[in-house]
Amino acid sequence: MTNNESLIRDEIWGLDTPVRLDSGEMVPAINLDSAATAPPFKKVMAAIDDQMKLYGSIGRGKGQKSAITTEFYMDAREAIMDFVNANHEKYTVFYTANTTDGINKLASALINTKNDMVLTTRMEHHANDLPWRARARTVYAEVDAHGRLKINDIERLLRQYRGQIKYVTITAASNVTGYINEVHHIARVAHLYGAKIIVDGAQIAAHREFTMMGCTPEEDIDFFVFSAHKMYAPYGGGAVVGLRDELNKHIPAFYGGGMVEAVFDRRVCYAPAPDSYEAGSPNFPGLVSMVHAAKILKEYGFDEIAQHEQRLLKRAITGLSQIPGVQLYGDNDYTDDRVGIVVFNMCGIASEDMADYLAGKHGIAVRHGAFCAHPYVRRLTSEAEQSGCAPPKGMVRASFGIYNTEADVDAFIAAVSELGNESLPVAMMEGRGRANGRKDDSHKPFDRG
């Protein structure tokens, strides 16, 4: 472990907390599942503790604590816009529970009728597919054999439905393969055909510097949605950075206190954005954690984060590719356009059994299943769509965070290799895993990983 890796690990809460293996032995866990949820920074935990000592009602009280809390709540919008390099006059920020909540609020606000058209892709997480599917006419750009987005397909569909498509909504980075999409180029194409662009930033915010502003105004992003829990910030929370004027033309299907100027017997005067998107009491601890995590990530430097991830990703791909029976997915020769995610299967072993083995015998946390991206996973694994409601068989995913080390990757490779060199334990083959009929829970709607 390098000195820099050691310093970074010292900044993460709970890394050395032991977990119990199936054998009963207690060992420090190796977390290779940051794409789902990342452990918190210690400085973030300390900031929450300090801020909560002065916690009061937001925007409703006149006490000193209320004033301090309200000031932090309002100033945080500026900090979040700075985090994504957003023009403060052009954009505003409203807070959400997570990315899923943010996209649902946008969809409920921006879509006027079922005839509105939205262009999305077969790469998307369900959270950036189903909210649009439920409210609008959706068309989908395809992916190639490696799982990369066919950008030309976006332009083809925009040209085919010239002027009818109102929004192009796309992930900045895939939660399955880690591919990073050229969203500013896509923004320029979308704007050329009169559409606005919405970017799901859940998997990019902790891994690469993101900017709302393109090289030209035509390349500017219109809406950006992200979650705090993938940025080493606990207690939930997220944000939407969006065009102030556009948000003021709409209102989400989410009502309550704090979003109005006045309510009368037969009419309501709604407040402008962002207040109109923030009904109810805010999640203040989540907001504090998000703001401080964003600051810490910028201090570390996204160039260094990207280089660190690339080293781990290439090491993992090299190691896995040398294990008999392992099938890697995606383009594993050129990885510069990927965040630190690798997906694979082992011949004859269900993805759930692999994940159980890694956790139960080695304390290594990975993710298995279809990652709430069923159409994309079927394309990657060439699994035919079946009748009924069975999800895809899926894959195993290892994802790397700022705190992971080469030793973590080596332990992971050794564990996968060990499994490949021995038969599965009898207990695992009898009554555990999808191979024996247990329903896979990777598609649960609350799972945003």
At 281-305, the pLDDT tens digits run 999 999 999 999 999 999 999 999 9
Q: What is the mean pLDDT of the chain?
A: 92
pTM as predicted: 0.93
pLDDT at position 362, please? 97
Confidence band of 436 (pLDDT split at 50, 70, 90):
very low
Amino acid making up residue 181:
N
**Tokens 């920074």 map to which residue?**
41
pLDDT confidence bin for 111, thresholds 50/70/90:
very high
Instruction: Give CATH 3.40.640.10 domain extents, the chain.
Output: 45-299
pLDDT in tens, 300-354: 999 999 999 999 999 999 999 999 999 999 999 999 999 999 999 999 999 999 9
**Angle between helix 42-52 and 284-300 (nearest 10):** 140
Q: Read off the amino acid at residue 177.
A: T
Q: What is the structure's pLDDT at 388?
A: 85
> Which residues, 6+ apart, have CB-to-CB distance to 247 below 8 Å?
92, 94, 109, 273, 274, 276, 277
Pick the CATH number of 3-40+302-436 from 3.50.50.60, 3.90.400.10, 3.30.450.40, 3.90.1150.10: 3.90.1150.10
Instruction: Average the pLDDT over 144-169 and give the result.
Output: 97
List, for residues 32-62, the tens digit of each pLDDT value. 999 999 999 999 999 999 999 999 999 877 8
Cβ(70)–Cβ(62) under 8 Å? no
Location of each CATH 3.90.1150.10 domain in the chain: 3-40+302-436
Backbone angles phi, psi at 369, to 5 degrees: 110, -145
As a whole-number percent, the residues of the chain with pLDDT over 70 amount to 92
Alpha-carbon radius of gyration of the chain: 22
Per-residue pLDDT, 443: 39
> 103 near 225, Cβ under 8 Å?
yes
Share of the chain above pLDDT 90, in %: 88
For the record, the structure tokens of 184 come out as 């500013």
Distant-in-sequence, close-in-space partners of 34: CB < 8 Å, separation ≥ 6 = 206, 230, 399, 400, 401, 404
Binning pLDDT at 50, 70 and 90, where does residue 5 land? low
Residue 1 has pLDDT above 90, yes or no: no
How much is the pLDDT for 7? 67
Q: What is the C-alpha to C-alpha distance for residues 394 and 252, in angstroms, rounded to an integer?
A: 34
In three-state secondary structure terms, 197 is: strand
CA quadruple 86, 90, 94, 100: dihedral sign: negative
CB 294 within 8 A of CB 231: yes
Q: Is 372 a catalytic residue?
A: yes
Checking if the pLDDT of 142 tops 80, the result is yes
Q: Is 49 exposed, middle or buried (0-12, 13-18, 19+ CB in 10 A)?
A: exposed
Least confident of 166-180, 277-291, 381-395: 381-395
CATH 3.20.20.450 for domain 45-299, yes or no, is: no
**Would you call 161 exposed, middle or buried from its count of C-beta atoms within 10 A (0-12, 13-18, 19+)?**
middle
Alpha carbons 411 and 425: distance in angstroms, whole number = 20
Sign of CA dihedral 290, 294, 296, 297: positive
Kindly name the residue from 215, 269, 347, 372 that is annotated as catalytic: 372
pLDDT band at 420 (very low <50, low <70, confident <90, very high): confident
Q: Read off the pLDDT of residues 223-234 as tens digits, 9 standing for 90 and up.
A: 999 999 999 999
